Structure 1
Amino acid sequence: MSPPRKSQIVPEVPFDKDGVHCGFLRLFHSVHRSAYGFIPIPIAVFRNGTGPTVLLTGGNHGDEYEGQIALANLVRSLDHTRISGRVIILPMLNFPAAMAGTRTSPIDEGNLNRSFPGDPDGTVTQQIAWFVANELIPLADATVDLHSGGSSLMYIPSALARRQADPDRAALSLRLLKAFAAPVAYLTAGGQGTGHGGTLSGAAATHGVVSLGSELGGSGTLTPAALRIAERGLRNVLVELGILPPEDRVPAEASTRILEVRGAQDFVYAAESGVYEPLVELGDTVKAGQPAARIHTPETPWREPATAQFLGDGFVLCKRVPGRTMRGDCLFHLGTDTGL
């Protein structure tokens, strides 16, 4: 039997000592300008006695900024003497992509949230995925991976979780969704039918760890409203897990609307390349067969635009941002009410 494969990433911080420990994960990467250098992935570990462990990550995609800023703020503000357990924070998980402000890594073009469980001897992105999947997630009772729509999509600020077959994990997922207190939350079936495999949440599911995600806006920018939702959500999740005391809970303005994303029928894609004209807005309720967008070809203005239609009924959670689009680009996706 071959020995277990080990990550080549070296943490500068301990995970088993009380206190606040800040430093870097050293991902050694030899390049022309630095033969023996490493990529410094920032990490902070807060620990105080016994209790649950939560893994909090942002910058999984480098052009999504809400999580990066919310977690950086949390690193500076969290009082470890008020917690019971452990909080592991990585605000810039895909550090090369986050520094470049791009969805994928400029080093290997890796999309970290399609790279799990990774490879300890693989590319930079695969090594990050392996370390998270095999060194960090097994330490955790829950994970929160903060995302937004990045440069190409805009979401109604939302939280999300995978559907869980286990009743206890399903109940915890729903509690965390409601505690996060985003205006909208939705349940997914994972990557089934959408091509969204290889995710951090999938790696968590493999280890039986409950995972929470978010889609906190997008358009390649950061809004004060989305940041407030992220910061409130993080605090409330720590309270819900019993890591912070109940008096630290931040009240929400309204209850969360719980939706589900059923699969491929909730997504609309461009069937042609051109300039897309959206026919609905975020938050609209639509019907199957309703026109979603027209794809124009201004270079041949006499040609009739192609029309994309919704495949099912639902609530518009997400829309594409750039007007110029190519065949296969996602234009919209929907959610449907669950009554939860």
Structure 2
Amino acid sequence: MAQSLITSEIDFDADGKQAGYLRVPHSVHRSAYGWIPVPVVSIKQGSGPVVLMLAGNHGDEYEGQIALTKLAQDLVPEALQGQVILLPMTNFPAAETGQRCSPLDNGNLNRSFPGDPGGTPTQMIAHFIEEVLLPGCDVLIDLHSGGSSLFYPATLLRGQGWTEEEGATLRALEAAFDLPQAWVFQGGGGPHSTARTAMGAANRKGVIPVMAELGGGGSVTPDILSLTERGLRRVLHHLGMLPAYRPDAPRGTRALHAAGSVFAYEAGLFEPLKDLSDPVGTGEVVGRIHDPSAPLRLPVDVISPYDGIVMAKRPMAQVRRGDAVVQIGYDMPDLAPQT
């Protein structure tokens, strides 16, 4: 495996709290020997699990960036058993500019794993995470939101587990995070995963991964940010890493499978007729697309091909053909044994 060209200013083996940068080499006209500063924090004390937390994987997703920044400030080594590694602006060029993809190479980090040690900046970051950071970790928590074009309620994302043991661990992490909604993937995962996401990278390295979709629409929602901060501490407590933390009572999670997205087939302004968590039936109109440039033209109905509920919605009114306007999910079947 080729060695990463990225260097770290912090020592991941040292106890205590450290903050610095991952230096991603980037030679450009204004800076022949320059580097891109990816902020990194390590908080370590004694023995225990190692948890890698990412935010800013997509740069226009903000709750996670704030939550990890606050956690970096608040968490002290004396309260910790194990190690937490935080990357609050994982694809720094994208996060710095508030864009989904990096303005330097148009790189979508969550479609770039396993990366390339000698590739573009986004590919180098992906490679460093998969080949340098993840092999030393036990759990990955990758914080996302709907970004500029979608809005999710606070939702945990997880697989069903490559083995029975892994499945039980993932269900326990879901319960510990205790978000209102969970999106459970069907199939995939495991050491042979070909997914180009951070979760796929974790699966390939034998690390337990969970992800979260936390709001979106280019904004920060106070209640979702609060749920995020609460969930991270609850997970660390569940893993035995915050022994003095006292979690409040669980509130419960609605577990869903994704049925699919509903797309616009015309350009115009989208009028939603459904809100988050609303029930939807196959053939039901979920919204209409209007064309104000032709006021007497009747709107075009957007029809769901799925039964279920609205898992996510588009907050932007303007749409083009091919834009997802809602995402539909359905409740996971009850697999409990019948008595």
- With normalisation by structure 1, the TM-score equals 0.93
Deviations 1:245-282 (A, max 9, x none): 1x414325621222222xxx421111222211111111
Which residue of the partner structure matches residue 99 of structure 2?
A: 102
Contact map agreement 1:27 1:39 (CA 8 A) in 2: yes
Distance 1:20 1:223 in 2: 29
Question: What is the one-letter code of the residue matched to 2:61?
Answer: E
**Counterpart amino acid of residue 268 in structure 1:** V
CA distance in 1, matches of 2:248, 2:116: 41
| C-alpha separation in 2, matches of 1:323 and 1:190 | 34
Return the letter of the residue paired with 1:291: V
Asked if 1:208 is matched to 2:206, the reply is yes
Q: Show CA shifts across 1:182-219 (max 9, x none).
A: 11112113789xxx952111111112211111111111
Tell which deviates more after alignment, 108-117 or 196-205: 196-205
Matches of 2:91 and 2:300 in 1, distance apart?
37
Letter in 1 for 2:260: D
- Unpaired runs of 5+ in structure 1? none
SS in 2 for 1:74: helix
Partner SS, residue 52 of structure 2:
strand
Q: Summarize the alignment of residues 18-97 of structure 1 with structure 2, pairs less than 5 Å apart.
A: 18-97=15-94
Distance 2:228 2:142 in 1: 11
Q: Which runs of 4+ in 1 moved over 4 A?
A: none
Partners of 1:316 and 1:200 in 2: CA distance: 25
Paired residues of 2:159 and 2:188 also in contact (CA < 8 A): no
Match of 1:241 in 2: 239
Q: What are the superposed Cα offsets for residues 146-175 of structure 1, whole Å, 9 maximum, x if unpaired?
A: 111111111111111122231111111111
Q: How much does 1:179 deviate?
A: 0.7
2:55–2:144 Cα contact (<8 Å) kept:
yes
Q: Structure 2 regions of 5+ residues with no counterpart?
A: none
Q: How do 1:98-137 and structure 2 match up within 5 A?
A: 98-137=95-134
SS at match of 1:63: coil
Deviation per CA, 1:277-311: give whole Å up to 9, x if none.
11111120111111122222222333333222222
Q: What percent identity do the matched residue pairs reach?
A: 48
Of 134, 140, 144, the match for 2:141: 144
What root-mean-square deviation, in Å, do the aligned CA atoms of Structure 1 and Structure 2 show? 1.8
Whole-angstrom CA distance in 2 between matches of 1:49 and 1:82:
11
1:75-126 CA distance string (max 9 Å, x none): 1111212211111111000101111011111111111111111111111111
Measure, in 1, the Cα distance between the counterparts of 2:249 and 2:34: 45
CA distance in 2, matches of 1:190, 1:322: 32
CA shift for structure 1 position 20: 1.4
Equivalent pairs, count: 330
Q: What secondary structure does 1:179 align onto?
A: helix
Q: Determine the structure 2 residue equivalent to 1:298.
A: 292
Give the direction of change, closer, same or farther, for the CA distance of 1:251–1:163 in structure 2 (3 Å limit).
same
Question: What is the CA–CA distance in structure 1 between the aligned matches of 2:246 and 2:118, rounded to whole Å?
Answer: 42
| Aligned residue type for 1:297 | D
Mapped contact 2:153–2:224 kept (Cα < 8 A)? no
